[in-house]
């Protein structure tokens, strides 16, 4: 079978040599960039063509008669938008006309020849691909965009363009939860501007960083390629940053080849990191520090990285200077830090402010008292009095054997060990900045899904690699005694092979650093939980804090206080404006607030 314009037709009366020659010719023709058209072909297409994609316009540079007209089009970019001029014929000429306003995007263009592309026999496992079909889908796509640092789109735009013949929105939906876990946008050039080359392009491929299924991005790309091939498109192009090795590897695996096609963008705050001179040691910052540094630079706040490995930086503007370590700043007092550092002290302080706390005992070596506490409560939690990132924490202990082992593990982190009554429910983190709630998220423990082939160890390692890739190495699932205990309680060992679709929780703690995932619930969190978190912040007298509760549901009022973190990871809570509110706290007259004051709108 040979594919011509997306239709499968039998090839009769041709030798293998002739067929190979034809496929070679088709590949050669489709790999030509759209910059060598004849005069008649150029006139046949629409002039000055562009497509509004919601995040900005995709401007087809080959449809502009003069470079000056293309520059003028880029100058009409809307606020908070990112226009892209694609298929720029002579980028050096364009840049020379407006060097202070535009820049050459540091991305490669890759092309998939749809005449020779072949679909995979593999099918998605645990999710499926479909078209975007509702406003809820649109909101979910925006959530993924924000989590990936992309420009968000008004949900109304998605919905109003659902019947747009030039734009195709695909989403990946989790079969079990119904959540949208990936998205991709396709542009049909023929329907956008009567492209004589019958091209198409792929944009905004994004996968939810919390997604646990492999291959989501690959199947989205494949489905879009099949869609355009069926429409008769000759090729599908995409643009990818030159240093995105993971994405480039995927595209090359699927048969994409690099082509000499260029894109130009405007020098705006959204694009600043692509054209501005990078800060020294910026790449060594972790995601939590980088989020704040990016927001500071966007506002024009001066940034000096003082220790990249530790996440330290100094922010300065208008004679004011604040030294920070991620979300911890000089505005947080040493007393507040001391209160958060010792979980027993934190508990006493917030209990005095009227918050509900679980019953607790400090283990001093008295095993009889420990056994009595376990008997009274049935299930308990063990944690070091001091520690972070979930180290030494064990949840849901029901036997003295497990309890003693957990105490020994906790003592490796801190000599003082606390034992608490276990509250069944979900782990809720509330981020409070300037004594107001900014974000709320449920943190869920890591789990794996069996495929009937691989053992538990392999599934954990695979899931751990995905979590590490999605979080810049911040989240991995340790295979240790706590993991083995949780597996054993569910009837599994590391060498067990779970059935296909079987869902197994591999650790009871939901901390991000031990493989947990984070799910935004800011829009549904109960007002009483918000009030309790703000009370805790005021009792500790701390301007930025992550307050942890165990709750029945984030939309219900029942809770118990767990702990307070003086350095919450703000990057874990996108799309909520955590970095923006942090900069508002440090520099109240920066950013949009400053502009509003200047214009008399506040």
**Residues 6+ positions from 200 with CB-CB distance below 8 Å:** 114, 186, 187, 188, 189, 190, 228, 231, 233, 235, 236, 237
Dist. CA 229–CA 387, nearest whole Å: 55
Pick left, alpha or beta for residue 598 (phi over 0 → left; psi -120 to 50 → alpha; otherwise beta): alpha
At 389, the pLDDT band (50, 70, 90 cuts) reads low
| pLDDT on residue 27 | 44
pLDDT at 592: 58
The Cα–Cα gap between 66 and 193 comes to: 18
Q: What average pLDDT does range 541-553 have in this prediction? A: 95
Residue 82 CA: distances (Å) to CA of 151, 204, 587: 8, 12, 26
Q: Both tokens of residue 181?
A: 């876990």
Q: Tell me the per-residue pLDDT of 327-357, one tens digit each, with 9 for 90 and over.
A: 999 999 999 999 998 888 999 999 999 999 9
Residue 515's closest CA among 467, 483, 554, 547? 467
As a whole number of angstroms, the distance between CA 590 and CA 13 comes to 73
pLDDT, tens digit (0-9, with 9 covering 90-100), for 560-577: 998 999 999 998 887 789
For residues 587 and 575, is the Cβ–Cβ distance under 8 A? Answer: no
Task: Answer left, alpha or beta for residue 194, where phi above 0 means left and psi between -120 and 50 means alpha.
Answer: left
Domains in the chain, ordered, with CATH? 124-190+202-246 (3.40.630.30), 446-507 (no CATH)
pLDDT at 343: 86
CA dist 511 and 479 (Å) reads 15
**Hey, which residues does 325 pair with through a beta bridge?**
312, 328
Query: Does pLDDT of 19 surpass 70?
Result: no
Give dist(CA 560, CA 59) in Å, integer.
Answer: 53
Span 93-124, pLDDT tens digits: 999 999 999 999 999 999 999 999 988 888 88
pLDDT score at 85: 97
Q: What is the mean pLDDT of residues 136-155?
A: 88
Cα–Cα nearest to 561, from 377, 455, 421: 421
Concatenating the DSSP letter of every residue in 284-332 gives GS-HHHHHHHHHHHHHT-EEEEEETTTTEEEEEETTEEEEEETTEETTS
Cβ-in-10-Å burial (0-12, 13-18, 19+) of 462 comes to middle
CA-based R_g, the chain, Å: 27
In this predicted structure, the answer to whether residue 494 has a pLDDT above a threshold of 70 is yes
Q: Which residues have CB under 8 Å from 320's CB, separation 6+?
A: 587
* Coil vs helix vs strand at 58: strand
Q: Which two tokens stand for residue 488?
A: 């054993």
pLDDT over threshold 60, residue 12: no
Beta carbons within 8 Å of 132's beta carbon, 6+ residues apart? 138, 141, 158, 162, 169, 170, 171, 183
How far CA 247 is from CA of 218, 241, 244, 275, 535, in Å, comes to 10, 9, 6, 21, 45
Query: What was the pLDDT predicted at 120?
Result: 87
Residue 31 has a pLDDT of 44
| pLDDT digit string, tens, across residues 397-427 | 888 888 888 888 888 888 888 888 888 888 8
CA distance 251 to 143: 24
- pLDDT at site 538: 97
For residue 195, pLDDT beyond 70: yes
Do the beta carbons of residue 152 and residue 145 sit within 8 Å?
yes
Cα 282 to Cα 148, 289, 292, 309, 469: the distances in Å are 18, 9, 12, 10, 19
The number of CA neighbours under 13 Å toward the Cβ of 33 is 20
pLDDT band at residue 34 using 50, 70 and 90 as cut-offs: very low
- The answer for residues whose C-beta is within 8 angstroms of residue 44's C-beta and 6 or more apart is 194, 196
What is the C-alpha end-to-end distance of the chain, expressed in Å?
67
Model pLDDT, residue 439: 96
Sign (positive/negative) of CA torsion 248, 250, 253, 258?
negative
pLDDT band at 148 (very low <50, low <70, confident <90, very high): confident
- pLDDT tens figures, 231-240: 999 999 999 9
């Amino acid at each position: 079978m040979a594919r011509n314009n997306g239709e499968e037709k039998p090839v009769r009366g041709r030798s293998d040599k002739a067929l190979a020659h034809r496929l070679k010719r088709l590949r050669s023709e489709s790999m030509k960039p759209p910059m060598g058209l004849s005069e008649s072909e150029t006139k046949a297409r629409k002039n000055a063509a562009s497509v509004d994609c919601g995040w900005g316009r995709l401007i087809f540079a080959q449809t502009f008669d003069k470079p000056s007209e293309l520059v003028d089009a880029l100058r009409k970019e809307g606020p908070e938008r990112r226009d892209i001029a694609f298929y720029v014929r002579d980028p050096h000429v364009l840049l020379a006309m407006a060097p202070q306003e535009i820049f050459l995007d540091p991305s490669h263009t890759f092309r998939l020849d749809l005449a020779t592309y072949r679909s995979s026999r593999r099918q998605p496992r645990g999710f499926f691909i479909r078209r975007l079909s509702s406003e809820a889908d649109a909101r979910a796509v925006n959530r993924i965009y924000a989590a990936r640092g992309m420009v968000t789109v008004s949900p109304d735009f998605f919905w109003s363009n659902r019947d747009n013949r030039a734009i195709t929105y695909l989403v990946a939906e989790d079969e079990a939860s119904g959540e949208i876990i990936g998205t991709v946008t396709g542009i049909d050039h023929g329907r956008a501007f009567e492209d004589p080359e019958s091209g198409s392009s792929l944009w905004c491929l994004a996968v939810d960083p919390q997604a646990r299924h492999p291959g989501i991005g690959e199947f989205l790309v494949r489905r879009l390629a099949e869609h355009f091939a069926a429409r008769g498109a000759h090729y599908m192009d995409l643009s990818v940053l030159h240093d995105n090795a993971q994405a480039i590897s995927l595209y090359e695996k699927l048969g994409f080849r690099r082509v000499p096609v260029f894109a130009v963008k405007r020098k705006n705050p959204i694009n600043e990191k692509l054209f501005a001179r990078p800060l020294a040691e910026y790449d060594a910052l972790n995601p939590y520090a980088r989020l704040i540094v990016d927001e500071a630079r966007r506002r024009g706040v001066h940034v000096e990285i003082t220790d990249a490995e530790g996440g330290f930086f100094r922010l300065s503007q208008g004679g004011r200077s604040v030294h920070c370590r991620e979300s911890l700043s000089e505005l947080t007092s040493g007393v507040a830090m001391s209160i958060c550092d010792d979980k027993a002290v934190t508990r006493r302080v917030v209990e005095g402010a009227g918050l509900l706390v679980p019953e607790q005992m400090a283990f001093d070596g008295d095993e009889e008292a420990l056994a009595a506490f376990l008997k009274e409560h049935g299930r308990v939690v063990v944690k070091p009095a001091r520690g972070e990132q979930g180290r030494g924490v064990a949840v849901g202990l029901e036997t003295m054997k497990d309890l003693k082992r957990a105490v020994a593990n906790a003592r490796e982190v801190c000599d003082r060990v606390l034992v608490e009554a276990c509250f069944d429910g979900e782990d809720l983190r509330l981020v409070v900045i300037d004594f107001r709630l900014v974000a709320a998220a449920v943190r869920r423990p890591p789990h794996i899904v069996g495929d009937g082939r691989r053992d538990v160890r392999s599934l954990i390692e695979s899931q751990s690699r995905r979590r590490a890739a999605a979080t810049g190495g911040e989240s991995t699932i340790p295979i240790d005694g706590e993991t083995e205990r949780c597996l054993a309680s569910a009837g599994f060992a590391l060498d067990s092979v779970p059935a296909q679709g079987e869902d197994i929780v591999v650790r009871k703690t939901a901390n991000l650093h031990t493989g947990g995932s984070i799910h935004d619930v800011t829009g549904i969190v109960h007002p009483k939980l918000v009030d309790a978190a703000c009370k805790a912040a005021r009792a500790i007298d701390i301007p930025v804090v992550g307050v942890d509760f165990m709750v029945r549901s984030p939309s219900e009022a029942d809770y118990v206080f767990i702990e307070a973190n003086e350095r919450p990871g703000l990057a874990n809570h996108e799309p909520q404006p955590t970095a923006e509110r942090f900069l508002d706290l440090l520099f109240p007259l920066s950013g949009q607030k400053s502009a509003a004051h200047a214009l008399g709108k506040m």
